[in-house]
Structure 1
């Protein structure tokens, strides 16, 4: 179990990087950031595919179709919504909304996967989830108060960012549950090869994304500096770093965790991504968190530690106890 938790922590630390990239490159459209990140992921996956060639040969058409769907929704659509949300609303609000993933995934998985993973007793799960929810509210209270004095245009962009973050939330509620379904159904398959497979299918998708951007630019519908934008060295370096760490290594660590832990529990550990994203955002701002923000972070950590103490019980056991 603790090996799985350690893998989930590593994934969260690397995934937190994707929240900072749109703030570091505010002059790049979200679609260009999305296409660049996954082009880098696909290129990085090519040499890794050679190392995993034997395991990849075992994948059939159904497996590749599953990898394509997971990448299209959990990678492309998710990051497009997230990057656009951060550029419109700043870092804290999208981080808060995405940070509700542990609660949402726990709610869905505790019903959907109870026969496979067992059910976490709601009586023991309620307090950790309440602590996580309270922490997320505290973390963003300071930013919400500061926004009240901003012009109306800023508020409109903030609302747009919130709606886009909700779209990202739905994508990433679907992704870890479906990804865990495949991994738990194929315990003999390599989590590393599965991460590489998802990287390989992003390569043609990212090329199609760049083609779509070029067509939209040619028609005058958007303004974008293709292919590398106004700061090529920063863009390429950041996309390669995120492609390697957040996309491939983060997915690998998450796959390892998903094979070891119940989906209900591993879903709550996505809170590590929220904590990492907040830490990186404050480092980028060169600020210390406000006292209320620090309190919220403490509540998040307490909620996760409390959730780790809850063990899933088979439905038959719970029914016998109820009788």
Structure 2
């Protein structure tokens, strides 16, 4: 439990970096950032795949198809939604909408995986979920207050950013549940190998998407300087850093956590990503979080600590299986 929690913490700290990219590259299309990030991830995975080629050969065709599904939804589509949301609504609002993931995933996992993992009793889970929801509500309240105080705020743009962030939540609710299914069904397979396999599967999808976006922008006469935009060195360097850290290392840490923790509990630990992303956003703003935001962060941490004390209870079906 402790080692799995530490792996989840590391994944959250690393994944928080993905919220920084769209803020540092506001003039770059979100689709280009999504394809660029995962093209870098795929290229980084190639030498890792060579080192791990023996284990990768043991994966069957069905495993590779599963990896393709996971990267299409949990990587490319998720980051396309997220980058668009951040560019339209700023960092904190999409971050806190994504912050509902611990609640959404825990509820979904507790409904669908009780027989496999044991059920986290709803009455004991409720205080944890309530604290997490309270924390998210506090931070959202603080952001809405700042938004109302800005006379130049574009409410429609912020609303669209919020809707896009909801789409990202849907993608990343599906991804960890489906990914955990594969990992728990294959306890003999290395999480490192599975992370590398997803990187390899990402490469052709990202390459095709990048090429298609380039052709589409050229066909419509877009003045954007393809293939790497107006700041090529910064763009390539940032995509490579996010591709290595947030995609491969983060996925590896999360896979390690998923093999050690019940899915419902692991889902709640995604709150670490929210806390890290909020911290990075306020560092970029060069502002200290307001008191209401700090209260929200404290509630999120309290909810996670509470959740770690809950032990799954075997269901009747699992006990008699």
Say yes or no: TM over 0.5: yes
Equivalent residue number for residue 120 of structure 1? 120
Does residue 1:219 correspond to 2:219, yes or no? Answer: yes
> 2:106 touches 2:265 (CA, 8 Å); kept in 1?
yes
Report runs of 4+ in structure 1 exceeding 6 Å deviation: 317-320
Equivalent residue number for residue 316 of structure 2? 316
Give the drift of 1:209: 1.1
Equivalent residue number for residue 228 of structure 1? 228
The secondary structure found in structure 2 opposite 1:161 is helix
Equivalent residue number for residue 48 of structure 2? 48
Tell me how far apart the structure 2 counterparts of residues 319 and 182 of structure 1 sit (CA, whole Å). 22
Tell me how far apart the structure 1 counterparts of residues 127 and 317 of structure 2 sit (CA, whole Å). 22
Where does 1:252-271 land on structure 2 (aligned, <5 Å)?
Answer: 252-271=252-271
Tell me how far apart the structure 2 counterparts of residues 66 and 296 of structure 1 sit (CA, whole Å). 37
Give the drift of 1:223: 5.1
Deviation string, structure 1 residues 33-82 (Cα, Å, up to 9, x no partner): 00110011001000000111111000010000000000000000000000
Tell me how far apart the structure 2 counterparts of residues 69 and 258 of structure 1 sit (CA, whole Å). 18
Query: Unaligned regions of 5+ residues in structure 2, if any?
Result: none
Give the drift of 1:152: 7.8
Tell me how far apart the structure 2 counterparts of residues 120 and 57 of structure 1 sit (CA, whole Å). 37
Give the drift of 1:254: 0.2
CA 223–64 in structure 1, closer or farther in 2 if over 3 Å, else same: farther
Equivalent residue number for residue 291 of structure 1? 291
Tell me how far apart the structure 1 counterparts of residues 134 and 153 of structure 2 sit (CA, whole Å). 29
Between 128-137 and 141-150, the greater mean CA deviation after superposition: 141-150
Does residue 1:173 correspond to 2:197, yes or no? Answer: no
Give the drift of 1:317: 9.5
Tell me how far apart the structure 2 counterparts of residues 58 and 115 of structure 1 sit (CA, whole Å). 29
> 1:37 touches 1:242 (CA, 8 Å); kept in 2?
yes
Equivalent residue number for residue 162 of structure 2? 162
Equivalent residue number for residue 198 of structure 1? 198
Equivalent residue number for residue 26 of structure 1? 26
CA 118–278 in structure 1, closer or farther in 2 if over 3 Å, else same: same
Tell me how far apart the structure 2 counterparts of residues 194 and 318 of structure 1 sit (CA, whole Å). 27
The secondary structure found in structure 2 opposite 1:313 is coil
Deviation string, structure 1 residues 8-31 (Cα, Å, up to 9, x no partner): 000000000000110011010100
> 1:106 touches 1:264 (CA, 8 Å); kept in 2?
yes
Equivalent residue number for residue 13 of structure 1? 13
Tell me how far apart the structure 1 counterparts of residues 319 and 42 of structure 2 sit (CA, whole Å). 47
Deviation string, structure 1 residues 110-153 (Cα, Å, up to 9, x no partner): 01000000000011000010000000111122221121244587
Query: Unaligned regions of 5+ residues in structure 1, if any?
Result: none
Tell me how far apart the structure 2 counterparts of residues 272 and 139 of structure 1 sit (CA, whole Å). 15
> 2:11 touches 2:250 (CA, 8 Å); kept in 1?
yes
Aligned residues: 320
Tell me how far apart the structure 2 counterparts of residues 153 and 215 of structure 1 sit (CA, whole Å). 34
CA 297–221 in structure 1, closer or farther in 2 if over 3 Å, else same: farther
